[in-house]
Amino acid sequence: MNIIAFVISLILFVGGFYIMGSAFYVVGAEYPVFIAGILASCLGVAIPIHVLKRIDG
């Protein structure tokens, strides 16, 4: 279970950076795409910090 959560977290974290970088190429929707990238990266960090410590216990 921890390996699956780690892989999902890593994909969200790295994908969030990719989405933030791609926001500059989306004409007219730069702000929402950038915010989506920030939220994806935050979720990728929040899963191991908040969720996994409760599952291990």
Backbone angles phi, psi at 28, to 5 degrees: 95, -15
Q: How far apart are CA 27 and CA 39, in angstroms?
A: 20
Domain coordinates in residue numbering, the chain: 2-56
Q: For position 56, what pLDDT does the model report?
A: 61
Dump pLDDT digits (tens) for 1-53. 678 888 999 999 999 999 999 999 999 999 999 999 999 999 999 988 887 77
Note the pTM of the prediction, 2 decimals: 0.82
Per the model's pLDDT, the better-predicted residue between 52 and 56 turns out to be 52
In sequence order, which residues have a C-beta less than 8 Å from that of residue 51 and are 6 or more positions away? Answer: 5
Question: Which 3-state string (H, E, C) describes 32-47?
Answer: HHHHHHHHHHHHHHHH
